[in-house]
Structure formats: structure tokens, C-alpha cells
A and B are shown apart, each in its own frame.
Chain A
């Protein structure tokens, strides 16, 4: 059975103007995988997450969580999910311990088991030593981890996290990634939204790129990267005319004096690097990143 499945899912917001946020989205997320929804701002990621987490009614189509229909069986869905919304804030007077304690009770976890669950969750996000400090005195990353701990302490099978690492520093972000992967190892299903490409590439088992309410690519990070017709990139610092290349080349992107040249294969990349080094320019080559593919897809430059 799939953890999350949407069929032809559409959402139309009707206010002063009509906005079609999702257009017939079909996504299947298997149990025990970490699935990432990747997309630019306003792509429809949050709308998808809010529908499958029973916070928002869908307009057309169907969505299921662990076999339960989100429209007709929301109570069953809510017993099995836990959500961290985008930009969630904390109660300043709460401690991380209280977050885990009260939210676990609301999830129906028996009181005698709550302390153990809370301790495990707080240790997992490395907040155990700060468990009795109020959130008002914690850093932004620590507050976010307190919220994530409250979700981890739940016995939910499917965790839905909407940009959980946004605004965190690199170290805090990696701590969260480690926690998420641990949860997957323990058999949880995680649905994550992000616009941090590195995050999507490192933590995801599979991902879908959503753009303007439509899924434009889906697969493992490696599969997505293979969608690019140019598999390698060469970063050159200096004047490209010395190499016989022009900045108007379709596969070149310029950032000040730096240029990224996209090429089909490694041989071509190595050749350009060699030429550049001979001319005294700085140059290096690597495989294209998920970000390269993403920008190409949402910018319409890919095949």
C-alpha cells in the first residue's frame, strides 16, 4: 500500500482572482521513503502538502494517505500523520520538553509513554540539554528543532514537513537531515518540501519537481539529473573569447566574470578545462547538479 497517493489532484483558489494552484497532480509515495517536493515559490508544493494533511479541501481528483481518503476520512488520516508547517513559530513560554509532552498527549499517546517518547525525540534533535529552556531564549534553529522533535515524538507513520530547514544554518540543517534519514531507517515515511537543492539531492529517496501546479519531473535524484542533455559543467573564470567560446552560447550562464558552460560529455568538459588552463584562466569541471537540472526544467531550457 502507498503511503500517499494523489490522482488527478487539482486545487483552485477562488477569491478576487482565480488561481489554479494544482493541475491534475499524480504522485505516489511509497511507505518508508523520503519523498521531496521540489519547486520554486508558488509552485504548489505547500498546497499539495496541506491537502494531503487534511488542512485544505481539494477541488478535483482524489488523495489518499495509507489508503484513507483525505476528503471523506480525515479523522483516520490525522491519526497517522504529523505535520510541521512552513514558517511555524513557537510559543515563547514553552520549553522543548513541553512541546513534545503536550503534543504527544494530543496525539493520543498514553501519558506513561510520553516521557520516553519526548526524551528520544529531544535527544535525536540534540535538544535534550536545552529541554527546560523556554523557546523565547532559543536560537531560530533550536526553535525549529523543538517543533521537529514534537513531530518525531509522535507515533505518526507519515511525517509531512514543509520547508523544515528554511532559515537554518548549515550545521543545524545537516542535523535535521540526519534526523530525517534516521526516521526513514526506522520505517517512517517522510514527505518534505524544499527549495534547497542540496537538501533534495542528499536526503531524498525520490523527488518530484513541481512547477506552476504540475509535476514536470519525478524520480530519484540521479534519474532527475539524467534528464539534462548536458551532463557536465565547466566553471571558467575570465574572458571566454580566449577559448573561442562566446557568452551567447546557449549552454553558457554568466555570473560576473565567472561562466558555467554546460557540455554533453566528460571529454568535452576536460578539453575546455585544458584550454582554459593553457590560457591562464581558472577552470574546473564537475557533473551537473540537481540545481542545474532544476533551473533548466523550470526555465524551460531542458529537453
Chain B
């Protein structure tokens, strides 16, 4: 990637975040509110808030990853803004990265808020906080790549269909696997948490915060699964990222 391509990533990130933030600053709270909604029920019904906070962080990262990738790309295609950008000296990977980074930046205040609360409640230490950032980034990258793949393979679908798919996936991956609740609740099926990038990331964060203990080989395996799934999605996305229609 050359300097122009990197600069384009920043320009697209700014293009996709600065005007929205300037005119609609409340959106940063909305992003966090969706993810923090389960915390309300956890508090009311006596669940473990510390688990919920990890879940809120992970689901924020995953939700913005998959939603941005699918919704922004499908809107740009529908509105034909993508056609304008295709005809510019912009690499498709710069465009994809810019689209993915913009909501991540917009969600940073929420992520920082959740992490601050987690430290205050003792769910994370400053050291485990540092470790928690890596699974969060991998989870975001993995689901962004998955989103780009879906929008690439479903180019002919309407933006409404794609929006529905992104919402189903975002909510499904954030709320159904053990993201907000401990994987131990699944008993013999706790291995399911390794399948999904969201629950895998949540379990790794819990490992480093001390609320989940796993053998070292299991921890390494989980890291590998998370890294490999992200890499596979990213490689397929890069390979399939073509500006031109056949």
C-alpha cells in the first residue's frame, strides 16, 4: 500500500465520520446504547454486570464492524456515490478500510466509557485492558471483512435486504453466543464460543481479566482461531475487492 492509498483511507474515514458527527453528535450515544441495553436487564435481574460490560464492548465492536461494511457499501452503491469513487484514483481496499474505520472512531467514546466502568468495577485491570483491546480489534476486523464479503457477493440485492441481513447478523452474533453471559452457562457446549469471533473475543478478554480460567493450550487455540478467521475473511475480501463490474 503506497502513501496515497493510506491517505485515502484517512480521507474516506473522515468523509464517513466527520460530517455525521458534526451534524448528529448524539449518534455516538446511540451506538453505545444499543450495546448497553442488555446491561439494564442484567442489573435488574441480578446478572453479572462485569460479564455484561465485556459483552457491551464486544458487541459494539462487532455491530459497527458488520453494519458499517454492509450498510455503508450498499448505500453508496444504491446512491451511485460508489460509481463516482470507482472513477477516482482510489484503491478499493482504501475505500473498504475507510468505511470500516469511520464507525470505529465514532464508537470510541462508548468503548472507552465501557472500559472505564469495567476498570472502576474491578472487572479489568489496566494490564488486562491492554490485552482486551487486541481481541476487540480482531473481532471488529473479522466482522468488517465478513460484511464486505457479504456485500460483494450480494451486489444485486436491494439495500433494504442487505440492511436486514446486517441487523440480523449484528444482533445475532452479539447477543446469541456467550458474549453477555459466561460460556460456562452452555455446559458441554461451551466450545461453541470459539466458533464465533464475538464470543471468542469476549472469552479471551475474560481470561485476561481473570473471570475465566482456561488451560494455556486452549487460550492459544482461541487466539489462533480468532486471528485465522480474521485473516481468512480479510484475504478473501482483498481478493474479491474489485472495482469493476464484469
Contacts and interface: CB of A to CB of B under 8 A. Distances in A.
Nearest to B98: A106
Contacts of B87: 53-55, 78, 81-83, 160
B4 A108 contact: yes
Interface in A48-95: 50, 53-57, 74-75, 78-79, 81-91, 93-95
A103 B80 contact: no
B84 A84 contact: yes
Interface in B8-52: 8, 11-12, 14-15, 19-20, 23-24
Interface string A29-55: 000000000000000000000100111
B23 A93 contact: yes
B84 A57 contact: no
A85 B15 CA distance: 19
Interface stretch (B163-171, B199-207, B238-246): B238-246
A200 to B, nearest CB: 22
A84 B14 CA distance: 22
A87 B89 CA distance: 22
Contacts, number: 88
Interface string B222-246: 0000000000000000000001111
10 contacts: A50-B245, A54-B243, A56-B245, A74-B244, A78-B89, A81-B87, A88-B79, A105-B7, A106-B88, A106-B90
Contacts of B85: 106
Given A57-B244, A102-B11, 5 more contacts: A55-B87, A57-B246, A102-B14, A134-B23, A150-B84
A98 interface: yes
B46 to A, nearest CB: 42
B83 interface: yes
Report, as a range, how many residues of chain B touch the other chain: 20 to 34
A88 B80 contact: yes
A54 B86 contact: yes
Nearest 7 CB-CB pairings of A with B: A89-B79, A83-B87, A85-B83, A85-B80, A102-B15, A88-B80, A93-B19
A224 B12 CA distance: 45
B81 interface: yes
Contacts of A83: 83-84, 86-87
A79 B85 CA distance: 11
Nearest to B246: A57
A173 interface: no
A107 interface: yes
